[in-house]
Amino acid sequence: MATFGNGTRCLITIDSRRHHHAHGFGGMATNVYDLAKIGRLYLNRGLWNGRRIVSEQWIDNSLVPTKENKGYHYNWYHQYYDDNAANPSFYALGLGHQVIYINQAKNVIITWVGNNNDAPFWEIKFFDTLCNKFF
What is the reported pLDDT for 47? 95
The three-state secondary structure class of 49 is coil
Domain ranges of the chain: 1-30, 31-134
- The rounded distance, in Å, linking the Cα atoms of 21 and 13 is 9
- Domain 31-134: CATH superfamily is DD-peptidase/beta-lactamase superfamily (3.40.710.10)
All residues at 6 or more sequence positions from 133 whose CB lies less than 8 Å from its CB, including other chains: none
Instruction: Say how far residue 45 (Cα) sits from the centre of its chain.
Output: 14
Model confidence over 82-120: pLDDT tens digits?
A: 555 556 788 888 777 788 999 988 999 999 887 776 665
* Best CA proximity match to 120, nearest among 90, 80, 84, 85: 80
More confident residue, 65 or 60: 60
Instruction: Name the pTM for this structure.
Output: 0.75
Q: How far apart are CA 25 and CA 15, in angstroms?
A: 11
Q: pLDDT averaged over the chain?
A: 78
